[in-house]
Chains A and B, each alone.
Chain A
Amino acid sequence: MFLTMKVAFRNISRQKKRSFLLAGAIAFGMMIITLMNALTGGAVINIRDNFSHALGGHVFITGREWTDAGQMIMKIRPDANLDRLLEENSGQIAAFTRRSQAMPSLIFGSQQTLHMLYGVDFVEEERLVNSLVVIEGSLAEVGKRDDIIVLPEPVAERLGVEVGETVLIRLETLTGQQNVGEVQVAALIKDQEELGLSAAYTSRAYLNGLLGMEPHEYQILNMFVTDLDQVEQFARTFREGLMAPDEEEEQIDEPEVTVTVAGVPIDPVQRTEEVTPWEGTRYQVMNINQIMDAVELVVGVLNRVGLIIFLILLVVTMVGITNTFRMIMIERTKEIGTMRAFGMHQKQVKNIFLWEAVFLGLLGCLGGLVLAGLIALAVGSISLNADPSLQFFLDNSRITFALPGKDIVTNVVLVIFTSLLAAYWPARAAAKMSPIKALSSHT
């Protein structure tokens, strides 16, 4: 085996131009598929990051309970069990928020608009306060007063409201009563619409009041985890930890979540029909991957298209390899005869050709990977001034590439397999050639 490998390896460099062209063709295909995989891989990561940003976390916990009147409402009360879980897993939590939320009418004078409103604990959410880009006014007051609101600039423009003026909030309480409140505009902030995040913020205590909740209650607990790879496990820990003793596990792992990018990730109230009421709070734990499933589906399709292109390129290359190897076989007829005379078996002759194909394939793969790497480096360093809607796929305006090792292995295996297939018939023909005919050939 070593001998056939050695001869095969040397043969590669025999007709450098020819090997270069064949390996080059393979490299081209490999480059395309690698870039494609890496591009979609990078996009998935970016989309997930941007989604997490838009949704304010990687793991989302909501709670549901029944009122005495037999109505189901969505809220979480202060819960020692949940606090314990947060405490126990604090090592894996990068940050968390406990918010209430509503989609109220914001009214100013004769103008009104429906907009997403988060009730946040400004003291607890330092991270949010720091990330908001203030255009007018200031966030200095937000931790001290409850009846204030922070508005995205376009919303303020629509309403024609200025900092310091008062806006009317009209909404339904959790139990469905109409309610109104008045808040003062503390600041106008830059809208983050390109990230699917256009929300106004008020204090949680105030919004809770309007919704009919106690100040320390909230509706969604959002958590950023430290290690995204562990997010499923992490979510399971909470799901299991929060399960009531009599509760059956729901199949909430299904990716049937409808994501309204500008709004709430989940709306469990609508999903629960015809259930018998329970005592206390039942929790629902979602994670970003469940939402990403839809994205991965699209990416899967893209990658499959890439694979088909790759396969077509491979088939074309295969024809080239077969023809070249047929030529090589004729060129080396006498040499094959000589090797056969000295006692080389048919199988060994075949193996020389097959190894040659393997080496060519590997060479092509290597070349393709290097090329793809260089292109990824070059393209990745360009800051794109792209349309806001595209920003969702980018990381700070840059295209990012991420290639799982699994994909590389698959592609390399594919290349080697097709090379072997392409070389098989010429290899067999070379092996079957009778030594006498081979030796008396004049090539």
Chain B
Amino acid sequence: MAIVELENVRKVYTLGKAEVHAVRGVTFSIEKGDFASIVGPSGSGKSTILNLIGCIDQPTEGIVSINGTVTAGLKDRALTQLRHETLGFIFQSFNLIPVLNVYENIEFPLLLGKKKGSKKETREWIEFLIEAVGLADHMHHKSNELSGGQRQRVAIARALATKPEIVLADEPTANLDSKTGQSIIELMKRMNSELSTTFIFSTHDRSIMEIADHVIQLLDGLIVEDSKTKAEAGSIS
């Protein structure tokens, strides 16, 4: 089942009189449980596509469908709701809320919606996530007390807090050294297989894209290759 579907999607930005064709007719779908990577050089339209999937931007043309919902024409309220219920985000520059500590940052998305489950269950879930990303010792630290890699780990846990169907990560390793970056991608992969959450991340680093089981290659707003290696089991140990 395709959890994300793009059909003939175009995105045109207008900069004054000039038009920028960031995405020029893209069609692809991502299956539930995919660990998908969008690869391409800078300016190829990776962020634009992730923003469209993330419901924080709307296509100029074409259809974007998330978990069966077509985003076009939805009002801010509905889009916000859809993001909250279906999506998790990991950003290039981590974007932790500076006034909140590690625990609170991860708890944050949960507090935005209606309460699900008991206090105790919630607490255990957050602690499980903290444990899973290896930050049990930093539960009460603020983000400025953490390294880049640690911050991105918090961000991964935060993105998973609401148990979303899809986690989007726009160049999650770009602000990290390659070793840390590698471990972040591996962590994401592990969460992907453990929780069977769909991950879609973008990168311009070919070495990182290799972990993905679904690679979409972009160039100048067009797909140049869409390949799946469905031998996912056991690819990470």
A→B interface (CB under 8 Å): 2-3, 7, 10-11, 13-14, 334-335, 337-346, 348, 434-436, 439-440
Contact = CB atoms under 8 A, between A and B. Distances in A.
A351 to B, nearest CB: 12
Nearest to A439: B56
B100 A335 contact: no
Given A3-B111, A436-B51, A346 B76 contact: yes
27 contacts: A2-B111, A3-B112, A7-B97, A10-B99, A11-B99, A13-B99, A334-B95, A335-B97, A335-B98, A338-B89, A338-B91, A339-B97, A339-B108, A339-B112, A341-B54, A341-B83, A341-B87, A342-B89, A342-B158, A343-B80, A343-B81, A343-B162, A344-B80, A345-B80, A436-B57, A439-B56, A439-B91
A342 B91 contact: no
A341 B77 contact: no
B68 interface: no
B76 A343 contact: no
B110 to A, nearest CB: 9
Contact of A342 (B51, B84, B98): B84
B108 A342 contact: yes
Contacts of A13: 99
A340 B91 CA distance: 13
Contact of A3 (B51, B77, B108): B108
Contacts of B56: 337, 340-341, 434-436, 439
Interface of B: 47, 51, 54, 56-57, 76-77, 80-81, 83-85, 87-89, 91, 93, 95, 97-100, 108-109, 111-113, 158, 162
B70 to A, nearest CB: 18
A338 B151 CA distance: 14
Contact of A343 (B84, B97, B98, B100): B84
B99 A7 contact: yes
B77 A7 contact: no
A14 B109 contact: no
A435 B77 CA distance: 12
Contacts of B54: 341
A342 B77 contact: no
Given A340-B80, A436-B56, 6 more contacts: A2-B111, A335-B97, A337-B56, A342-B158, A343-B81, A345-B80
Nearest to A335: B97
A82 B159 CA distance: 85
9 shortest interchain CB distances as A-B pairs: A343-B84, A10-B99, A3-B111, A338-B95, A435-B56, A342-B109, A436-B57, A436-B56, A343-B112
A343 B85 contact: yes
Nearest to B158: A342
A10 B95 contact: no
B24 to A, nearest CB: 19
A14 B77 contact: no
Given A341-B56, A436-B51, A439-B56, A7 B98 contact: no
Nearest to A8: B99
B236 to A, nearest CB: 27
Contacts of B57: 436
A335 B88 CA distance: 15
A439 to B, nearest CB: 7
A293 B206 CA distance: 87
A10 B112 contact: no
B99 A343 contact: no
Contacts of A345: 77, 80
A343 B83 contact: yes
A342 B76 contact: no
Nearest to B99: A10
A343 B95 contact: no
A362 B108 CA distance: 26
Contacts of B88: 342
A345 B111 CA distance: 12
Given A14-B99, A338-B91, A343 B77 contact: no
Contact of B109 (A2, A343, A348, A439): A343
